[in-house]
Amino acid sequence: MNKTKRRKIKVILQQGKEQDEVVIMGWVRTRRDSKGGFSFLEINDGSCLKNLQVITDHSIDSFDSISGKLHTGSCVSITGKLVQSPGKGQSVELQAKSIEVYGEADPNQYPLQKKHHSFEFLREISHLRPRTNTFGAVMRVRNRLSYSIHKFFQDRGFVYLHTPIITTNDCEGAGEMFQVTTLKPDSIPMVDGKVDYTQDFFGEKTCLTVSGQLEGEVYALALSEIYTFGPTFRAENSNTSRHLSEFWMVEPEMAFYDLEDDMNLAEDFLHYLFKDVLEHCSEDLEFFNKQIDKTILERHQNITEKEFERITYTDAIHILEKSNKKFTYSVEWGCNLQSEHERYLSEEVFKKAVVIYDYPEEIKPFYMKVNDNGKTVRAMDVLLPKLGEIIGGSQREDDYGSLLKRMQSKNLESEDYDWYLDLRRFGSAPHSGFGLGFERLVQFVTGVENIRDVIPFPRTPKHARF
C-alpha cells in the first residue's frame, strides 16, 4: 500500500492541479471500456459527492490479471498521473500507472448496480447504502450539522454536558420508555403480584432516557448555560415518516432565560445552522435540490432570511377554527395540535417558520412554568413548513410550591423527584431550554421524506436489525 502519496478525491478536485504521481483509494462506481484499448473508471471515496475519472490503458502492468475484478463496487488503489481533463464537469483526471484491487464485488451478486435505487430497497441493505450518492451526501450533511451545533454553542460559552442514558425518570411523563433490566423473562421475581425490582441490576426500575433535560437543568443551575447532544429513546408505536425509536436530540438549558429568550435562542440557532450548512455543503445540497426535492434551497432561504412568526396557542386555534379547512382531527381549545394543523399554519397561513407558545396546561409536561392565568404554560414549539414540529421547549417552573402542586395533579411521586424539587429549594433561578430533534433537522435540510433515511441505522417498531 503506497500510503504516503494517497490523496482524497475531494482535495484532488478542489486543487485541480496536475501532478506526476498520486495514489487514490476508493470504490469503483462505473466502468466503461472503449475500443482503443482503454477503460474509464469512476472512483468515489466518500470524501465528496463527485467521482474522480480514471483512464487506464490496457497495456499497463498486470492489467490483464485484474481486469476481471474491476467492477462496480470493487475497492481499488490506483497510482497514476493527474492531468487536466478535457471532459466537462471535472478539473483533472487520473491516468493510471498501476492498479491494485483490494476487494472485488461479483456483478452477479453485488446489489448496487443501477444508478437509482428506491429508498425502500436501500433500507433493506443498510450496510451497503452508504455507498450510494444519496447516503454519502446525507451523512456528510449530518456530519456538518453536528459540527456546527457544537460550534454554535461553544462560541457562546455553553458547556457540553453528557447526561445519562440509563435513568429512573420519565421526563416527558408519556410512559413511552424502554425498560433496562437484567431480570430473566422466564423467572421474574414477584412480591404480592408485583415485580420485585430490588432484585434487578440497579435495585429499582430503570429505563432508557427520553430526554436529558432534567439532568440538564441540574447543571444549568450551576454552570448557567449547558447543552446536551446525545441519543434518546422512545417506545411510542408511531410508524410515521417523522418518528424513530432511537433518535438524537440537542437540548440547551439556560439559567436566567425566560420564554422569550428561549425563543430567540431557538431562532438564532436554526438561522445559524441553515446558513452554515448552505455554505459548507453546497455541492451535496445542490444534489438534493436536483434529485430529491427541487424546492429545498428556496425553503432554506425562506427560513434563514425571514423572522419566525410567533403566535400563542390560543391564536393558532382561532386561525384553525376560522380556516374552513377539513382536518382529519377536529380543533378546539385544549386539543393537541396534530401535524396536519402544524403544517397548515406554517405552509399555508404564514409560509415560513412559526413558533407557537403558551399551550394549555393539561397537554404539557409537569416541569413547565404555569402562567398567571393558571390555564396555560410557558411552552413553545417551532414548526417548519413541510415538516411540522422540529423544536419543543419551555420556561421551567422555578417555584417550589407551584411545581409540587403540578406534580401532584399529574400523579407523580414527589419522593422520586426530590432532587428535582431541591433545585427549587436551594438557589432556584428562572431558567428555560428546548430540544431539537436532530434527524428532523437533517430531514428538513436534505429534503429526504422519511426519517429512516437520515440516520445510519434506523430503529423503529419491529425493526432493530440492520
Residues within the interface to ligand 4AD (CB under 6 A): 171-172, 211, 213, 234, 243-244, 247, 249, 251, 389-394, 433-435, 437, 439-440
Q: Please report where in the chains the cell 499497463 appears, as a residue.
A: 60
Alpha carbon separation from 157 to 87, 97, 226, 304 (Å, rounded): 49, 52, 8, 23
- Proportion of the chain in helix, strand, coil states, percent, rounded to 5: 35, 25, 40
Q: What are the cell numbers at 294?
A: 427541487
**Residue 252 near residue 265, CB atoms below 8 Å:** yes
| CB closer to ligand 4AD out of 74 and 394 | 394
Stretch that binds Mg ion, among 92-100, 120-128, 178-186, 384-392 (CB under 5 A): 384-392
Least distance in Å: CB of 224 to ligand 4AD? 16
**Residue 128 near residue 75, CB atoms below 8 Å:** no
**Residue 54 near residue 94, CB atoms below 8 Å:** yes
| CB closer to ligand 4AD out of 50 and 440 | 440
Q: Please report where in the chains the cell 423572522 appears, as a residue.
A: 307
| CB closer to Mg ion out of 39 and 211 | 211
447 binds Mg ion per the rule CB under 5 A? no
Least distance in Å: CB of 387 to Mg ion? 13
Least distance in Å: CB of 435 to Mg ion? 8
Rg (CA), the chain: 27
Given Mg ion, ligand 4AD, none, residue 243, with its beta carbon under 5 to 8 Å by kind, binds ligand 4AD
Alpha carbon separation from 266 to 47, 170, 262, 292, 323 (Å, rounded): 31, 24, 6, 27, 28
Least distance in Å: CB of 432 to ligand 4AD? 8
Rounded Cα distance, 282 and 298, in Å: 13
Given Mg ion, ligand 4AD, none, residue 344, with its beta carbon under 5 to 8 Å by kind, binds none
Least distance in Å: CB of 367 to Mg ion? 13
Least distance in Å: CB of 102 to Mg ion? 47
Selected from 136, 392, 433, 458, the binder of Mg ion by CB under 5 A is 392
| CB closer to ligand 4AD out of 172 and 361 | 172
| CB closer to ligand 4AD out of 17 and 410 | 410
| CB closer to Mg ion out of 73 and 437 | 437
Q: What are the cell numbers at 440?
A: 428532523
Least distance in Å: CB of 63 to ligand 4AD? 50
CA–centroid distance for 440 within its chain: 6
Residue type, 31: R
Least distance in Å: CB of 285 to ligand 4AD? 21
Stretch that binds Mg ion, among 199-207, 392-400, 423-431, 450-458 (CB under 5 A): 392-400
Number of Cβ within 10 Å of residue 54's Cβ equals 22
**Residue 121 near residue 112, CB atoms below 8 Å:** no
Given ligand 4AD, Mg ion, none, residue 439, with its beta carbon under 5 to 8 Å by kind, binds ligand 4AD
| CB closer to ligand 4AD out of 54 and 454 | 454
Q: What are the cell numbers at 392?
A: 419543543
| CB closer to Mg ion out of 287 and 438 | 438
- CA-based angle 260:232:458, to the nearest 5? 120
- Per DSSP, what are the bridge partners of residue 252? 227
Interface contacts to Mg ion, rule CB under 5 A: 392
